[in-house]
Amino acid sequence: MDHYRYFIRLAYDGSHFHGWQRQPNAATIQQTLEEAMSMMLRSSISLTGAGRTDTGVHADEYFAHVDLSDHLSVFELEKLIFRLNRYLGGQIVLFEIFRVASEAHARFSALSRSYRYCIARVQNPFRRDYTCFLYGPVDVELMNAGASLMMDYRDFTSFSRVDTDTMTNICRISYARWELEGDELVFTITADRFLRNMVRAIVGTLLELGTGKINLEDLKLIIESKNRSKAGNSAPARGLTLHRILYPKEIYPK
C-alpha cells in the first residue's frame, strides 16, 4: 500500500507537558497530538518529531512527520487543522500540514535549529511561565564574549546530560548571542544539532560568567574538561523556547 508523507508545523506551550516525546504515565505533546489525530482520522497515527524538548520547554516552531495511506487535498488538510486546533484547546496549535518527499524526515533532514532563552530583568506576572527572573547586575558584553568563544568548539560534552544514548557530542554552533529586548535579556543560539539539556546548561554557565562567578579562562577549561559537573547549573526550563527549524528545499515535492 502506498503511503504519503506529511510534515506538520506546530507550536506549543510546554508548561503543563513533560516534553515532546511519549513517556509512561506523563502527558506529552506527542501523545496528545497522536491521540487527537488518531481520533480525527479514525486510524492509528504515529508521529516522528524533530527532536526532544524537556519538560516545561516551549516551541514557537516545531515539526513532526506522519505517513498516511490517503492523499489529502488542501481543503481536507485545512479542515483537519481547524478541527484539531479546536479540540486541542490552545496549548498546542497546528499551523499547517503539507505533503513532502517520501524521504523527508522531521529530525534527520533538519539543517539547523534555533533556541531562545528569555531572562526577565523586571518581574512580569504575564511572562512568568516563559521567562526566568534574574536579580542584580550582569555583564552582557562578557557573556557575549563567552558565547562567541563557544562557537570555536565542537565537543559539548560538558553541557550534555550524562545519562543519554547519544552516539556523539559533536555540534556546530553557527550563532550565539545575548540581546536586550525591552525588559528581557534574550539568548539566541543556532546549531546543526543540540544535546539533551545543552542550551539550559550553556545558559546557566554563561550566567555564571556574567555574574562574576567564573571568567573566560574558566569557561575554556569547562568546555575542554568534557565534564558536566564542571559547568554551571541548568537554567530553568520555562525560559527556553525552540524558535526555528530549517530544512532544505529539496525535501519538498517538485
Count of other CB atoms within 10 angstroms of residue 99? 17
Query: Measuring CA to CA, which residue among 132, 160, 148 is closest to residue 220?
Result: 148
Cα 200 to Cα 10, 63, 98, 204, distances in angstroms: 22, 21, 32, 6
Q: Examine the residue annotation and report whether 54 is marked as an active-site residue of this protein.
A: yes
Please give the distance of CA 56 from its chain centroid, rounded to a whole number.
Answer: 11
| C-alpha to C-alpha distance for 120 and 103, rounded to whole angstroms | 42
Query: Which one-letter amino acid corresponds to residue 83?
Result: R
* Active-site entry in 2, 54, 60, 70: 54
Instruction: State the catalytic residues.
Output: 54
